[in-house]
Amino acid sequence: MTADDAGSGTAEEREVLDAAAPDAADAAVRDTGARESAAAEAPDDEDQPDPIALRLEQLILGAERRYTPFQAARSAGVSVELATRFWRAMGFADIGQAKALTEADVLALRRLSGLVEAGLLSEPMAIQVARSTGQTTARLADWQIDSFLEGLTDPQETGMTRTEIAYPLVELLLPELEEFLVYVYRRQLAAATGRVVQAADDVEMVDRRLAVGFADLVSFTRLTRRLEEEELGELVEAFETTAADLVAAHGGRLIKTLGDEVLYAADDAGIAAEIALRLIETLTHDETMPELRVGIAFGTVTTRMGDVFGTTVNLASRLTSIAPKNAVLVDGAFAEELSRTGEAPVSEAEAAEAAAAAEKEGEEPPSYRFALQPMWQRPVRGLGVVEPWLLSRRA
């Protein structure tokens, strides 16, 4: 199949091209390069993007569309198959052989493939880098467009569309937002690197033991039927903002938000406990917020692309579902960790004994931050029988 065929053939033919060996593909391009370029420069009018959208794209990307995926892969020195895998991993749809790629796309392909060729990343790891970066930035971009720019361009000026107003705003904001994004990324990378360096040993770096907490709004489903969409959006935004601020302020890490639910993690059980109780206390004093329940578990977790997985995470989720309103339930491992670090006594009897022993020796009694109350054992779906503990502040 020639390069001309790639631009105008059927979907099945393009799939064959994409799967073809790089050497054969390059030979085809060398033989018919001039014709392929000419065909790509005269696309169907019906396929052309909106002129304003194209202007915005060129402003943001800083370059014009010059390459088909086939040309971009060849220019970057990678196979079409690998280029397609990178492109999809970043979260972008297949574009056939339309001339829609820029010099920046070629440079990105060249950089990723260069890391693989240098042995710094394996090919699967490079795909993961592309996927994690794409997923994170996609959410950020959607939020900024849907909320930030929409707010700036509303109300609309007379005789101008929102898109026409957005163009000069993007032109002014883009350099500043880009610099800020790089700054935050470097800060987050420094913090993550610091946590790895401080790990006790190599085993801990691979199999991390974390406290994982879920915070869940009670009766959220009923609220969705009762509230208007705008009111519901404001409630979710307020909940996520409050949770994110509290988690960050007290040294935890916000893993993700799911509308009515927040997942966070902390290296220290005391930090996780403080965050949970602060969430309860803060939302209890907000009359606009529904009640909250929190479940926390402590143990080994699997981390991948900023998310956490495993039995510990599942247990924290199950504890949340059975927690009383405005209360925190923790598992036995979490209770044991709080006791081990001196944050909470196993029982009030133990606390009394420790206080009596300290008084006898003329010393200050232990100062506990939290109290733990054992609850009834109960079966938890998929995890067997667990014995939850009710966490509270100790007067």
Number of Cα atoms under 13 Å in the Cβ half of residue 304: 6
Number of domains in the chain: 2
Please tell me the pTM assigned to this model: 0.65
The boundaries of the domain holding residue 281 are: 206-393
Tokens 């993961």 locate to 128
Residue 358 inside a domain? The answer is: yes
State which amino acid sits at residue 29: V
Q: Where a domain ends, among 104, 126, 148?
A: 126
Q: Which residues of 295-331 are buried (b: 16+ CB within 10 A; e: fewer)?
A: bbbbbebeeeeeebebebbbbbbbbbeebeeebbbbb
Residue 301 lies in a domain: yes
Would you give per-residue pLDDT tens digits along the chain (395 residues)? 333 343 434 444 444 344 443 444 444 444 444 444 444 444 444 456 667 778 888 888 888 899 999 999 999 999 999 999 999 989 888 888 889 999 999 999 999 999 999 999 999 889 988 888 888 888 888 877 776 666 665 555 556 666 677 778 888 888 888 899 999 989 988 887 876 676 555 444 455 789 999 999 988 777 777 777 777 888 888 888 899 999 999 989 999 888 789 999 999 999 999 999 999 999 998 888 889 999 999 999 988 777 888 999 999 999 999 999 999 999 999 999 999 998 998 777 777 777 777 777 777 777 889 999 999 888 877 788 888 999 999 87
Task: Examine residue 136 and state whether it is found in any structural domain, yes or no.
Answer: no
Annotate 263-287 with b (16+ C-beta within 10 A) or e (fewer): bbbbbbbbbbbbbbbbbbeebeeee
If asked whether residues 100 and 215 sit together in one domain, one would say no
